[in-house]
A and B are shown apart, each in its own frame.
Chain A
């Protein structure tokens, strides 16, 4: 079908020019600057919040005894969930046809990496003595002191490091051909130099492509494994306790599902934003939008299933304390968090059963945003409702969010946003190479028919 191939070829070639154009001559510079300025202001706020935090101690946040973990771990779990979801989606896309994959893969990987960076801030700053964070990691030392390997927190620290490494490798190697393309298309000397250095001498030889594809495959498989293990590990951080509402063998599956769901939601939201802002309607086509909608619906339903299973298992288990926590999730002082989960993450996805809504970028973006809010509340619910009252009634103490904790969360959001904006502005937002690969593959497929 030469016609198709020609069209694709053209599309790919045009895509290359478009993507390069975004990096070199954006038409929306002012909007970008505004967004970047907002993110930078948030980063400034984060810096102030962190300085105050390091000076005064974690007491600045509203955490207490018994709610020792609150927005810190909520934030961590939420960000790392998006990160894991992003990487998982990227891996899934790797299995799909290049045409579907190309416009979304880079975005998914970028979101995964940036969200993981945002997440990785928390386990350090939430420590009572953050300057000793590295004690959490096995490193040879004079005192022969090792971490306590039964603790899920050790494995979590290692999983984060592994995740960051994998996501970074996947992302940077994936960028190489596209950086080379930008280098080639650069219209000024300094762009040539910068992109040239960043491209690490990519020439696009068949040998390089072959190795590149191997590397991508290896990193993607690693990513897949690490996503599963990280989310299981994060879940075991709770499931490994005796605490009611946490002590649950289903929790790892639950966490994984929620992570993927939040990742899909984040990718959908940002892809649609990018599509609107960068005017990439031809590259991120209606087909992509519809696929994202389906993916969102599927993961949302899977998450709903996990929720129902956990209710069912708790009710069936009949443990008094578990039932107590379940009751408080429904009616206690923090029950609003569960109802927000329902209202934002579990119910709106059913709009996507409708084809027109699923294909509507506005509706999809809206549902995605709601899902992200709802899944943040999911983490809040799991943490605070169990911790603020577990076994002994006397242990109960309310938890109140402090402004410093919120400032830290939004500051980190600003930081992740700034990183994303930088990446979107200066790096190829889409894998041009993948478009080309699509073209090459199609050509190869055409040969026998000629």
Chain B
């Protein structure tokens, strides 16, 4: 009997039975090995001497208490995650140091695509995720989804067991059942079997499915993503004859024109694209010109809001606008009745002046016909190959879900395997997926939550989170990103690849084995390198030369969606914080304010001012939206950023199942989407009727809607004009001399121009500093706890609301008013310029917050951390106090990181290197808008930023001498396009 078999046998027993089994094996070599391995200090003599009985008793007790069998990792059945194979990164201790941070390279997923991450673990628990600086796409930045994926990992509502007919079951039972089923399908070559997955970016998984497909030729594979990149691919198919990824080289560009642009908005492109755009813009400003952004859309997003030349056009005019722009940019005649004529003329002239150095982009949800128009325009302007280039698509698509639903309704589907999708929620209700599913004999669903699809399926299988799986998904640029588990699976799930392996192979393999199998030929050193770096270098897609396909007659016909019609339209968009609903159970993302409205915990319908006047709407009212017989009740947000011929709603809410956080929030936009689903989702649909239902409950807001007036809080630097920055904040007389005198002075500079409002920093801060989620009611009462908030102000100089995002952490004032107010000295200054908060000295007078001119402090009005689920407690950063009820808290500049660096510096007797300490927000920022460091080191990035002519202090006239300061937003010179 082997050691492992013995361990397995012992694992199931307890008490007297365990003792009896031990007795039976007392003489065996296996037990001796087992004891020698796990209790090396114990004398084996005891097993045979007079003390044997007593020794075995003790062993039984210790086994029962410690679970010896659980320590055994060599059993492949038990060791599904193969954590004994993962390679620690950054620090490679010769021996594991308890409580020391270990960082592993892994990744996070946004809409099927990977971003590279470094995951910091403590005592085997991942507690923080950072962008992988070596990853060619992520380059150290993150987005809010990445930062929040830790919450998703520890989500207590995650599915924890296999369910059969909505009752608890287990994996062996499932495998037994499926073995029989699969044998039957094998006999029929897979006839009646369907596989539904999201579009896939993982080469090994695609390989697996291709193999399965080869074995079962009659099986059909469908892909479905609520948002996905299907329309983008359809657009390039129309323009170039093949599905392609469209990418941009902002660094070579002089002007960017975005039609319903979304390259800065949430999505798989956000981290990489916003970084590249901002880097190029910063460089262009330094060269005395500005990489300007012209944007036109019917509804606002981050890209639209950040534009230098924004314009709001009716949704029905977008197609006309594209034609007019094409005409203006290529020297044609600009029609008199062109929508937004002045804007088109300016953008067109700028594009014409920058032939080969312009970029025209269009939103991923615009119809393919329009996208093709844009591709042709880029081609005509000579931008393709220069500033716009194409690669292979990062996502592999298969047959679409509409065909599947039709077959299900026709009874042609006998068994349906749904992996990591939730079609019962995330397809238009009018398609009738839920009803069609009832006609499928065997429905297998694998997902991280017991969601709307799970409760309607025969089998539900718990899926692993990416942070506990092996995988090799590609990033948008094609880079294969190696996911490695950072922790043993919390809830005994399997990855998609492992589930496919169960279906396809008699002896299912684990994730690592599958990776090895798919990437045959990788030597051990290569494996080590791939896993260590979290990516396979050189797998980014090369540029693919393209040429225009002839315009097909069908495509040349008037654009279906773009047809001007007078009716009201519905625009559907993914939600900026919970995306398509996959993140709906993520408390961090639910409490994350939507960037433009600062609404939390709900979606809403955005309507324009004209429509609001017509129907008597005010922000917060309830409205009923109707398209033919389908209706939904929605709260309304009124903004001049919205065109009056359309109403925008976002996905991701109105969940019926899928977790305690997700359920019952907002409304389900899928309920309103039309059933016309000819191979693609239309995100714009006509025939919308809206009526007022009356006043509704207030939104849970973190910034009031009437507080978007920038006054002189946001300074704007016109490129080439005298500097708007000044040091007045630091030159006024003061009674106090409180300048830091300990050799170091920590400071932060935030570039308002670079901040795109993506919110990554807010979630990063929450993850790093154990900031609780307080819920909609508390947010509504004004008690949100985010230490770092991103204020949104309008940008009136652009002639449109627009947005200037101002992240506001603690200012760490040298003359801090809060320190004056506190009667017990719970907030005080240290010698490195930090404004400290001593939680256990705080008695909660709240004077500091009353005194704070920036209102950056947050108070534990109730016991917000008491009910934290045990699994979420595991995410807590052990270096940061979990605050109790009744104490004040605020941004500390991640003092725990500073202290760690200080200790290391003291130990090594070497000064802290410039820029070696980063706050969580600065580290997370994809555009490097936040710079942190020691201001006394003139080589540090922060000291350089403080010398920038755009540098100024918020409310500097109050003589608080803040250590957090700002760089003015940039604006193009008058007349410059």
A57 contacts B863, C-beta separation under 8 Å: yes
Q: With A and B bound together, what is the CA distance between A136 and B703 in angstroms?
A: 34
Which of chain A's residues have a CB closer than 8 A to the CB of B817? 241-242
Q: Which of A126-134, A192-200, A272-280, A431-439 contacts B (4 or more CB under 8 A)?
A: A126-134
Q: With A and B bound together, what is the CA distance between A347 and B730 in angstroms?
A: 46
A69 contacts B846, C-beta separation under 8 Å: yes
Which of chain B's residues have a CB closer than 8 A to the CB of A394? 703, 707, 789, 791-793, 806, 808
- Measured CB to CB, the nearest residue on chain B to A67 is B782
Q: With A and B bound together, what is the CA distance between A438 and B704 in angstroms?
A: 64
Q: Which of A66, A128, A387 contacts B885 (CB 8 A)?
A: A128
Assuming the contacts A241-B817, A392-B791, asked whether A129 and B886 have C-beta atoms less than 8 A apart, the reply is yes
B821 contacts A393, C-beta separation under 8 Å: no
Interface residue A65 (Cβ < 8 Å from any Cβ of B)? yes
Which of chain B's residues have a CB closer than 8 A to the CB of A146? 825
Q: With A and B bound together, what is the CA distance between A129 and B859 in angstroms?
A: 12
Q: Which of B206-214, B357-365, B708-716 contacts A (4 or more CB under 8 A)?
A: B708-716
B885 contacts A65, C-beta separation under 8 Å: no
| Interface SS, B side | loop
A150 contacts B857, C-beta separation under 8 Å: no
A282 → chain B closest CB, angstroms: 49
A324 → chain B closest CB, angstroms: 10
B888 contacts A128, C-beta separation under 8 Å: yes
B821 → chain A closest CB, angstroms: 6
B807 → chain A closest CB, angstroms: 11
Give the interface residue-count category, chain A.
35 or more
- Measured CB to CB, the nearest residue on chain A to B847 is A153
Which of chain B's residues have a CB closer than 8 A to the CB of A390? 853, 855
| Interface membership of chain B positions 851-877, coded 1 if the CB is closer than 8 angstroms to chain A and 0 otherwise | 101110111111100000000000000
B94 → chain A closest CB, angstroms: 41
Q: With A and B bound together, what is the CA distance between A409 and B480 in angstroms?
A: 64
Q: Which of A57, A66, A128, A136 contacts B823 (CB 8 A)?
A: A136
Q: With A and B bound together, what is the CA distance between A58 and B849 in angstroms?
A: 15
Q: With A and B bound together, what is the CA distance between A65 and B713 in angstroms?
A: 20
A160 → chain B closest CB, angstroms: 12
Q: Which of A41-49, A78-86, A224-232, A396-404 contacts B (4 or more CB under 8 A)?
A: A396-404
Q: Which of B468-476, B500-508, B837-845 contacts A (4 or more CB under 8 A)?
A: B837-845
B823 contacts A392, C-beta separation under 8 Å: no
B823 contacts A68, C-beta separation under 8 Å: no
Interface residue B939 (Cβ < 8 Å from any Cβ of A)? no
B850 contacts A69, C-beta separation under 8 Å: yes
A398 contacts B782, C-beta separation under 8 Å: yes
B824 contacts A240, C-beta separation under 8 Å: no
Which of chain B's residues have a CB closer than 8 A to the CB of A208? none
- Measured CB to CB, the nearest residue on chain A to B703 is A394
- Measured CB to CB, the nearest residue on chain B to A66 is B855
Interface residue B783 (Cβ < 8 Å from any Cβ of A)? yes
B886 contacts A57, C-beta separation under 8 Å: yes
Interface residue A391 (Cβ < 8 Å from any Cβ of B)? yes
Interface residue B515 (Cβ < 8 Å from any Cβ of A)? no
Q: With A and B bound together, what is the CA distance between A136 and B821 in angstroms?
A: 12
Assuming the contacts A64-B783, A148-B822, asked whether A395 and B855 have C-beta atoms less than 8 A apart, the reply is yes
Q: With A and B bound together, what is the CA distance between A311 and B877 in angstroms?
A: 50
A127 contacts B853, C-beta separation under 8 Å: no
Q: With A and B bound together, what is the CA distance between A136 and B822 in angstroms?
A: 10
Q: With A and B bound together, what is the CA distance between A153 and B855 in angstroms?
A: 19
Q: Which of B68-82 contact A (CB under 8 A)?
A: none
| Interface SS, A side | loop
Most buried by A among B706, B782, B824, B858: B782
Q: Which of A52-84 contact B (CB under 8 A)?
A: 56-59, 62-69
Q: Which of B706, B808, B821, B863 contacts A153 (CB 8 A)?
A: B821
Which of chain A's residues have a CB closer than 8 A to the CB of B821? 151-153, 240-241
Which of chain B's residues have a CB closer than 8 A to the CB of A65? 782-784, 849, 855, 857-859
Q: With A and B bound together, what is the CA distance between A129 and B888 in angstroms?
A: 11
Interface residue B909 (Cβ < 8 Å from any Cβ of A)? no
| Interface membership of chain B positions 590-601, coded 1 if the CB is closer than 8 angstroms to chain A and 0 otherwise | 000000000000
B241 → chain A closest CB, angstroms: 50
A241 contacts B850, C-beta separation under 8 Å: yes
Q: With A and B bound together, what is the CA distance between A130 and B821 in angstroms?
A: 18
A62 contacts B781, C-beta separation under 8 Å: yes
A387 contacts B850, C-beta separation under 8 Å: yes
Interface residue A9 (Cβ < 8 Å from any Cβ of B)? no
Q: With A and B bound together, what is the CA distance between A396 and B828 in angstroms?
A: 26
Interface residue A268 (Cβ < 8 Å from any Cβ of B)? no
Assuming the contacts A66-B855, A128-B887, A148-B822, asked whether A393 and B847 have C-beta atoms less than 8 A apart, the reply is no
| Interface membership of chain B positions 112-127, coded 1 if the CB is closer than 8 angstroms to chain A and 0 otherwise | 0000000000000000
Interface residue A157 (Cβ < 8 Å from any Cβ of B)? yes
B854 contacts A391, C-beta separation under 8 Å: yes
B850 contacts A147, C-beta separation under 8 Å: no
Which of chain B's residues have a CB closer than 8 A to the CB of A391? 853-854, 955, 958
Assuming the contacts A129-B843, A133-B843, asked whether A58 and B850 have C-beta atoms less than 8 A apart, the reply is no
Interface residue B58 (Cβ < 8 Å from any Cβ of A)? no
- Measured CB to CB, the nearest residue on chain B to A150 is B820
Interface residue B317 (Cβ < 8 Å from any Cβ of A)? no
Q: With A and B bound together, what is the CA distance between A153 and B820 in angstroms?
A: 10
Q: With A and B bound together, what is the CA distance between A128 and B781 in angstroms?
A: 17
Interface residue B582 (Cβ < 8 Å from any Cβ of A)? no
Which of chain A's residues have a CB closer than 8 A to the CB of B159? none
A64 contacts B861, C-beta separation under 8 Å: yes
A63 contacts B861, C-beta separation under 8 Å: yes
Which of chain B's residues have a CB closer than 8 A to the CB of A393? 704, 707-709, 711, 713, 793
Q: Which of A128, A237, A242, A398 contacts B860 (CB 8 A)?
A: A128
B847 contacts A66, C-beta separation under 8 Å: no
B853 contacts A243, C-beta separation under 8 Å: yes
B388 → chain A closest CB, angstroms: 37
Which of chain A's residues have a CB closer than 8 A to the CB of B783? 59, 64-65
- Measured CB to CB, the nearest residue on chain A to B782 is A64
Interface residue A93 (Cβ < 8 Å from any Cβ of B)? no
A180 → chain B closest CB, angstroms: 42
Interface residue B960 (Cβ < 8 Å from any Cβ of A)? yes
Q: Which of A64, A129, A133, A395 contacts B887 (CB 8 A)?
A: A129
| Interface membership of chain A positions 133-162, coded 1 if the CB is closer than 8 angstroms to chain B and 0 otherwise | 101100000000111101111100100000
- Measured CB to CB, the nearest residue on chain B to A389 is B707
- Measured CB to CB, the nearest residue on chain A to B858 is A65
Q: With A and B bound together, what is the CA distance between A129 and B886 in angstroms?
A: 5
Q: With A and B bound together, what is the CA distance between A118 and B913 in angstroms?
A: 57
- Measured CB to CB, the nearest residue on chain B to A73 is B850
Which of chain A's residues have a CB closer than 8 A to the CB of B820? 150-151, 240-241
Which of chain A's residues have a CB closer than 8 A to the CB of B849? 65-66, 68
A58 contacts B704, C-beta separation under 8 Å: no
Q: With A and B bound together, what is the CA distance between A126 and B824 in angstroms?
A: 15
A68 contacts B704, C-beta separation under 8 Å: no
A135 contacts B843, C-beta separation under 8 Å: yes
- Measured CB to CB, the nearest residue on chain A to B828 is A148
Assuming the contacts A127-B845, A128-B860, asked whether A154 and B823 have C-beta atoms less than 8 A apart, the reply is yes
Most buried by A among B703, B709, B711, B853: B853
Q: With A and B bound together, what is the CA distance between A128 and B889 in angstroms?
A: 12
Q: Which of A227-285 contact B (CB under 8 A)?
A: 237, 240-243
Most buried by B among A69, A130, A135: A135
Q: With A and B bound together, what is the CA distance between A392 and B789 in angstroms?
A: 13
Which of chain B's residues have a CB closer than 8 A to the CB of A240? 820-821, 851
Q: Which 5 A-B pairs have the closest CB atoms?
A: A128-B844, A128-B886, A64-B782, A59-B861, A68-B846
A-B contact pairs, 28 of them (CB 8 A): A56-B863, A62-B781, A64-B783, A65-B784, A65-B849, A67-B782, A69-B846, A127-B843, A128-B846, A128-B860, A129-B884, A129-B885, A133-B843, A135-B841, A136-B824, A151-B820, A153-B845, A240-B821, A241-B820, A241-B821, A242-B853, A392-B808, A392-B853, A393-B709, A393-B711, A394-B791, A398-B704, A398-B782
Residues of B at under 8 Å CB distance from A? Answer: 703-704, 706-709, 711, 713, 778, 781-784, 789, 791-793, 806, 808, 817, 819-825, 828, 841-847, 849-851, 853-855, 857-863, 884-888, 954-955, 958, 960
